[in-house]
Homo-oligomer: A and B are copies of this chain.
Amino acid sequence: MSYALEELGKRAVSAKYILQNLTTEKKNQALKKAASLLKEHTDEILKANEEDMILGREKGMKEGLLDRLKLTGERIEAMAEGLLEIVELTDPVGEILDTFERPNGLFIEKRRVPLGVIGIIYESRPNVTADAFGLCFKTGNAVILKGGSDALHSNLAITNVLRMALKEEGITEDAIQLIESGDRAVTTAFMQLKEYVDVLIPRGGAGLIRSVVENSTIPVIETGTGNCHVYVDKDADLSMACSIIINAKTQRIGVCNSCESLVIHSAVKDRFLPVLAEKLREHHVEMRGDERVREVISDCIPASEEDYGKEYLDYILSMKTVDSVEEAIAHINRYNTKHSEAIVTNNPESAEKFLNGVDAACVYVNASTRFTDGFEFGFGAEIGISTQKLHARGPMGLKELTSYKYVIRGNGQIRG
């Protein structure tokens, strides 16, 4: 099996040299073909998905997971639409990022190029298959996918259609390859296919990401987990604060940019918390707070240390009282996952302290953390949200799937 993996790697490398030189027009044509073939082959894909659904139900998969696994005509239509949206985006490859001439006459150009071969490891969400392919392909990268085993039939069906589209357009089918084995040892070996794969991107929950970070020898872009806070300052517009917290907590529960924790300034807690608690109860949000919070909210459960570090992805909110913006910043920096953090305040000085002091990809003043998203940022697409500092931070669009090279032109220069 490791031999087979190596074969996939070699094929991807051959493909990358072809893809890096494709024109934007050619790439867009292939994406349009892929969109149209996905719609054309809806029945086949649905049939394959039904096999996965049957096996999933037999295994006793939870409803939430089954819902993510399930495809419908509408969802396949959405996949195809997703590819057409990528067609509309500007191709970043070939962009000249900088040029400079040296005193010795060397002319240096910094040129944007594809990353090369991208590996993506994801859970049993078949829609990621088409989406990841589209983003990688538009940026001239070959992609090797390892999706969750529970979605294997669906992923195979989708991959086959995408490869069919490439073939019809006369482009190497190896622009997309799927690892079919469900063996964990194969997944681990994939994470170490450093000779062929330039970057590995895990898309999924904390466990998946940890496993990739621990096992990969390929450079990783860590995406995802978000223990996001909203801090209500003493100078906050409390009605705005309430609407931001309710939005960030409840508008969508299971996403990384939702709010997991409220940090409240002691000067406003007595006025603010009763109003907020009422709204939270309406939305069936369980409250877990420190002692000073519980003095005001009688039905608030005591929060443990563990609560403050937790990404609930559920109708639960932890609450912490502080006496200053500095204390709020220290609390957040201690417990956050460097994703998205917000302050609600009308005090410009507190806002600046927060923006400078909090270590996170996205720091907000007077807005919901839910805006950390490639589409909301206007990138038109998103491969994930990076929570590391190397290469890309926050929402990653097409540009974040590229690297650069230096092109240097001389007339015989040698070093003295």
Contacts and interface: CB of A to CB of B under 8 A. Distances in A.
B407 A403 contact: no
A413 B356 contact: no
A118 B410 CA distance: 35
A77 interface: no
B17 A409 contact: no
Given A102-B378, A371-B415, A390-B391, A410 B364 contact: yes
Nearest to A239: B412
Contacts of A298: none
Contacts of A199: 389-390
A359 B408 contact: no
A214 to B, nearest CB: 6
B213 A412 contact: no
Contact of A251 (B108, B248, B410, B415): B415
A96 B257 CA distance: 24
Interface stretch (A83-91, A217-225, A276-284): A217-225
A363 B243 contact: no
Residue among A220, A240, A356 facing the most chain B CB atoms (10 A cut-off): A356
A237 B413 contact: no
B366 A410 contact: yes
Contacts of A403: 389-390, 393
Interface string A376-399: 111000000000111101100000
A234 interface: no
Nearest to A368: B414
Contacts of A413: 366-368, 371
Contacts of A406: 361-363, 372, 377, 393-394
A257 to B, nearest CB: 9
Nearest to A388: B219
Interface of A: 16-17, 20-21, 100, 102, 106, 108, 115-116, 194, 198-199, 213-214, 217, 219-222, 237, 240, 243-244, 247-248, 251, 333, 351, 355-357, 359-368, 370-372, 376-378, 388-391, 393-394, 403-415
23 contacts: A16-B359, A100-B378, A106-B367, A115-B389, A198-B390, A199-B389, A219-B390, A243-B414, A247-B415, A361-B405, A361-B406, A363-B405, A363-B406, A366-B410, A366-B412, A367-B414, A368-B413, A370-B414, A370-B415, A372-B406, A377-B406, A390-B390, A393-B403
